[in-house]
Amino acid sequence: MLEFLKQPWPWYIAGPLIGLTVPALLILGNKPLGVSSSLRHICASCIPSGIQFFKYDWRKEKWNLFFVLGIFLGGVISVQFLSAPGPVSVNPKLVKELAGYGITDYSNMVPQDIINWHSLWTLKGFFLMVVGGFLVGFGTRYAGGCTSGHAIMGLSNLQFPSLIATTCFMIGGFIMANLILPYILLL
């Protein structure tokens, strides 16, 4: 059984399991799926109520903090006990393309060639980690939620704003991956 769990699950198993979280959350507690709001709940619990944005009863949303903690712990458990040993399997065509950008280390899920503490102090690392992180955080709050909240929860509830947000997320991802990221990786 553990050997089965160590292999990547096919889309027809993983997709429905993710999709089933929506009705499970709605049936069990009338709660929406979303992760980005948990940062606001954490800040509201830690920062004194001097900032208007954090003046609300965050305790009503503590279930969301447990949900995010469960996601984190699930990731830790899967990496420690369920991940297959050895490097990450990458398509040979992609390996060749990434080698042109100096990415050759596939020993972890995240390419150590570009995402590490040393790279943080380079122009490329600053753009990828700091500017990219800021843009993701800003876009998430500007869109009123993250990709999981809009694409999984919002679309399943037929919310038109979620369709617009998900479409913009996808367009932005395609533009970034195909038009902008190759130039950043050449820095």
Residues 45 and 123 in one domain: no
Q: Measure Cα distances from 181 to 53, 90, 132, 139, 178 in Å.
A: 33, 18, 11, 18, 7
* Interval 131-156: pLDDT, tens: 999 998 888 888 888 888 898 888 88
- Domain count for the chain, please give it: 2
Residues 67 and 119 in one domain: no
- Please check whether residue 95 lies inside any domain of the structure: no
- Please check whether residue 75 lies inside any domain of the structure: yes
Neighbours of 165 (CB within 10 A): 24
The pLDDT score that the predictor gives to residue 44 is: 85
d(CA 11, CA 54): 39
The pLDDT score that the predictor gives to residue 159 is: 92
d(CA 51, CA 44): 9
Stated as kind and residue range, the H or E segment containing 138 is helix 132-142
- Please check whether residue 142 lies inside any domain of the structure: yes
Residues 4 and 53 in one domain: yes
Residues 75 and 130 in one domain: no
Q: Which domain holds residue 154?
A: 114-187
The pLDDT score that the predictor gives to residue 176 is: 92
Stated as kind and residue range, the H or E segment containing 46 is helix 37-46
Residues 122 and 176 in one domain: yes
Better-predicted residue by pLDDT, 51 or 129: 129
- Please check whether residue 90 lies inside any domain of the structure: no
Neighbours of 71 (CB within 10 A): 13
- Please check whether residue 105 lies inside any domain of the structure: no
* Interval 102-127: pLDDT, tens: 899 888 878 888 888 998 899 988 98
Residue 2 pLDDT level (bands cut at 50, 70, 90):
low
- Please check whether residue 89 lies inside any domain of the structure: no
Give this prediction's pTM: 0.75
37 Cβ contact partners less than 8 Å away, ≥ 6 residues apart: 61, 64, 145, 149
Answer whether residue 78 shows pLDDT above 90. Answer: no
